[in-house]
Structure 1
Amino acid sequence: MPEISQFGLGKASHHSGATGAAGATWFDVDMADDADRQWLMGLQEINDQTRQALLAPVRFNHYEQVPDGTLVSIRTPRSEQIEDISELADLKLLIGPARAMTVRSGPIAAVEVLRRHRSDSSLVTAVDLLGFMVSAMTKRMEAVIFDLTQDIDAVEDALLDGGTAPPPQALSELRRRIFRTRRQVNATQQVLAPMTTDPALVLDADDRETLVRSSNYVTRYLQGLDECRTRVQLLEDQIDAQRSETMTRSSLNLTIVATVFLPLTFITGLLGMNVAGIPDQHNPFGFWTVTGLSVLVALLAWVLLRREIHDRQLDQASRPKKTLAQEPKTLSPENVELTLPPRPSAETGHQDKSDQTAVEGHHPGFRRKIVRIYGFALLLALALFFFHLVMIFDVAGAIIGQKAWMLEHFGHHTGKTLILGCFFLLFAAHLAESAAWGFFLRGTRLLPSLTEGVYFAAASITTLGFGDVLLKYPWRHIGPLIAISGVLMFGCSTAFLFVIMQDVWVGHL
């Protein structure tokens, strides 16, 4: 048999098994007790739909209208211990005009508090029971929020005053406590907030004021938890900032040490390298030639990186101007000539964009870009010519030096083999030089793709001059530069093959 308490007009009287007394009556049903369960199943004063709703499990906190009143379904902590809010239990509260019924399974903290204070004079209506139970469920959160605030204060004082960062698990534990507490309080607020404004609930002014007051209590607790969460987030940001500053200082110290020892490292590596096998190792200038080429490659890489950074800055600076330039213009007699398409060039059939490039030439860094690219082109021409000479005198010379071995193995075919080997060697050298010019044209963005760069370089080196791929102004002079270097290298190749063929013919090889 459930415990029954009666309230009315600020007075409370307790009965056992009677429901006919005047005032609001509270039925406390414990489903863990077989007698209470049988009593609820046999109660004729409630509708079957209401009975099924009372027996259904609580899947989420909510309220609903049933034939016998308003049914509030919540999950609330079972234990009365403040620090133990993890174990939850189902609680149903049926609110009628003159009757309130709680259905639970086992002891629940909020119900136990209500039973101890059921003689309170503030309990007049059934809605007062709901307000009292909500107050009992949420007021115990005050101690939890207070403990959280004290712990966060301690961490803040240690971090800001002493500079001592807490262990990572400390902030994780604070976050866990905040999230777990906020989940319980927010679930209660999701039930109370709609009830305060729901016109379908038949409540008088006092009952609605009770719900509003309980909802305000829960809202304040949520605000306190949100403040704790914000403070923990600020602490994590402060810790991350301190760690970043520490890492920056360490990186700066390492950079200073590396910069100090960089010249020593370069000298040690230069003087300690194994020079055996390098070209011209017996030449007194061979070592300095290799050293100079290494320094030249390093300077070239530095200049290219600096150019990339400079071009990126120019693109970012000119981006707003391009956006404005792309806006449609209104046709008028003053600006109608601006809408005319560019005239095709009479010589090439392509659109002449020299005027546009001339406008770009007024850019402060454009002249330096022209000088830099033409300087790289001259250096590349010299480097490729030196490469061609190395292929002729060193590589081909080494092949010719094996004449005795070839006579032993090829016999009277030695001459043809020697000429064929030199031909393939020079052919590969010219292909490599065309590819080098193609990489240069693509890397400097003078042509849109590597294949077009290699094709243009090969056509210029061989002086074919098809004209289907052209460089824009002011880069047109790079084509003749490639052609001049190509003619000189082809001349060297022709002269070398002539010498080889003459030697083979004279020796009847």
Structure 2
Amino acid sequence: MRDKPLAMTQDSSLTDQTAMDGPLLFARVLDGKGGCRLVSWAEAQGWKSAPDNPDAILWVHLDRTKPGVAEWLESGLSIPEPTVELLTSDQTRPRAFTEGEALVATLRGINFNPGAEPEDMVSMQLWCDGTRLVTLRRHPLQTPRDTLAEIDGGSGPQDAGALITSLTEHMVHRMNQSIVDMNEYIDRLEDLDPDDHAEEMLRKITRIRRNCLALQRHMGPQHVALELIARDAPPWFEHHDRREIDETIALLRRFLDDIDISKESAVVMQDELRARSLASSEHATYMLTIVAGIFLPLGFLTGLLGINVGGMPGVDDPMAFWAVVGLCVAVLVVLLVIFKRLKWL
């Protein structure tokens, strides 16, 4: 909705100094205690889990449009080619599946980039084998930055399952602002006078319904994807992580319900405006019909008396005009009485 964009400013300028070259946006090695250390793209490409720190987890966030991403996924992480194509393609419908000990998912979040519409959702692909997590995006996405801020602050996730849970939780929570904005937008429309702003209201309501449908189209499959993660994730995705995902699923379900309510509210307003417009049109047509019904016999009478033929009575009588006027008034009164008794007036 261009009148009040349901979006917040995207902080896409945050990049690590070590990630200025290549596809890397940022990379961290989690220490399993909530903290991390920064790693470069070269170090991330050759990273292996050390025996002295088996709880360490590598998280790499990449721009999937940059060259070399697909090659590293396939050769460096031994990801099958079909999965690499999924992770780097523009087929971004939310989905999730397991591949051996790895979890693969595509998730979508609200587009908070400046000037974006709510339905312009942005995707994030992820692949994780329990010790390495790779997230990929095409357009700027704030969700990974939220989790990164927690990690850099020393209070982040401690394992791969918790890291994925944090990402999904932030992604779903960020949808709340757009839904709240949409509800406030509907409230403001309800406060407008339909008689003065009917066309404007109909145009904005149509936009709201389109936004709701677009959000449902993406969030419905995402709900299914999260349920699959909670149910079929590999063993390294622990029980408490599944519980957290369940809470995120419940929140997403509530957001879907809120979108349904917003859509129904928009439908009710739209139906009311159309009903008012139809009633106004029908009333105008009805009044025109009444006027035509009154003046039709009067028009016939005056037309009959106005024909230019010989023998017309009263041609030489100066009082004939007033007699005709009196006759017309009498006909008008009779018609009004008849219409009143028929309850047409």
**TM > 0.5 between the two?**
yes
3-state SS, counterpart of residue 105 of structure 2: strand
Q: Structure 1 residues 88, 211: closer, same or farther in 2, change over 3 A?
A: same
- Provide the C-alpha distance between the structure 1 equivalents of 2:92 and 2:278, rounded to a whole number of angstroms: 45
Larger radius of gyration, structure 1 or 2? 1
- Is the contact made by 2:226 and 2:249 (CA closer than 8 Å) also made in structure 1? yes
Task: Quote how far apart the aligned CAs of 1:81 are.
Answer: 4.3
Does 1:19 find its partner at 2:52? no
Counting only pairs closer than 5 Å after superposition, residues 156-195 of structure 1 correspond to structure 2 as 156-159=190-193, 165-167=198-200, 168-195=202-229
- Provide the C-alpha distance between the structure 2 equivalents of 1:49 and 1:215, rounded to a whole number of angstroms: 28
Match of 2:254 among 215, 220, 227: 220
- Provide the C-alpha distance between the structure 2 equivalents of 1:47 and 1:30, rounded to a whole number of angstroms: 20
Deviations 1:14-58 (A, max 9, x none): 252243243233232333444655543431565666545544553
Does 1:149 find its partner at 2:178? no
- Provide the C-alpha distance between the structure 1 equivalents of 2:277 and 2:81, rounded to a whole number of angstroms: 64
> Hey, which of these two has a bigger chunk of helix by percent?
1
| Equivalent position of 2:150 in the other structure | 117
| Equivalent position of 1:230 in the other structure | 264
Q: Which amino acid aligns with 2:48?
A: T
- Provide the C-alpha distance between the structure 2 equivalents of 1:212 and 1:190, rounded to a whole number of angstroms: 12
- Provide the C-alpha distance between the structure 2 equivalents of 1:241 and 1:92, rounded to a whole number of angstroms: 46
Q: Which amino acid aligns with 2:184?
A: Q
Q: Structure 1 residues 246, 82: closer, same or farther in 2, change over 3 A?
A: same
3-state SS, counterpart of residue 117 of structure 1: helix
Task: Quote how far apart the aligned CAs of 1:70 are.
Answer: 1.4
Counting only pairs closer than 5 Å after superposition, residues 22-421 of structure 1 correspond to structure 2 as 22-23=54-55, 24-34=57-67, 38-43=71-76, 46=79, 50-51=83-84, 53-76=86-109, 80-81=113-114, 83-85=116-118, 87=120, 89-105=122-138, 107-119=140-152, 121-159=155-193, 165-167=198-200, 168-196=202-230, 198-199=231-232, 201-202=234-235, 203-271=237-305
Q: Which amino acid aligns with 2:289?
A: T
- Provide the C-alpha distance between the structure 2 equivalents of 1:237 and 1:44, rounded to a whole number of angstroms: 55
Task: Quote how far apart the aligned CAs of 1:234 are.
Answer: 0.7
Task: Quote how far apart the aligned CAs of 1:262 are.
Answer: 3.1
Task: Quote how far apart the aligned CAs of 1:72 are.
Answer: 0.3
- Provide the C-alpha distance between the structure 1 equivalents of 2:115 and 2:30, rounded to a whole number of angstroms: 29
- Provide the C-alpha distance between the structure 2 equivalents of 1:260 and 1:105, rounded to a whole number of angstroms: 71
Task: Quote how far apart the aligned CAs of 1:147 are.
Answer: 2.0
Q: TM-score when scaled to structure 2? A: 0.66
Q: Which amino acid aligns with 1:185?
A: M
Unaligned 5+ residue runs, structure 2?
1-21, 311-345
- Is the contact made by 1:110 and 1:137 (CA closer than 8 Å) also made in structure 2? yes
Q: Structure 1 residues 117, 81: closer, same or farther in 2, change over 3 A?
A: farther
Root-mean-square deviation (CA, aligned residues, Å) is 3.4
Deviations 1:321-352 (A, max 9, x none): xxxxxxxxxxxxxxxxxxxxxxxxxxxxxxxx
Q: Which amino acid aligns with 2:54?
A: A
3-state SS, counterpart of residue 58 of structure 1: coil
- Provide the C-alpha distance between the structure 1 equivalents of 2:284 and 2:103, rounded to a whole number of angstroms: 65
- Provide the C-alpha distance between the structure 1 equivalents of 2:304 and 2:256, rounded to a whole number of angstroms: 69
3-state SS, counterpart of residue 108 of structure 1: coil
Task: Quote how far apart the aligned CAs of 1:84 are.
Answer: 4.5
Q: Between Structure 1 and Structure 2, how many residues are aligned? A: 274
Task: Quote how far apart the aligned CAs of 1:153 are.
Answer: 1.1
- Identity among equivalent positions (%) equals 20
- Provide the C-alpha distance between the structure 2 equivalents of 1:28 and 1:155, rounded to a whole number of angstroms: 41
Q: Larger RCO: Structure 1 or Structure 2 (Cα < 8 Å, ≥ 6 residues apart)?
A: 2
3-state SS, counterpart of residue 73 of structure 1: strand
Unaligned 5+ residue runs, structure 1?
277-509
- Provide the C-alpha distance between the structure 2 equivalents of 1:233 and 1:126, rounded to a whole number of angstroms: 43
Q: Which amino acid aligns with 1:213?
A: E
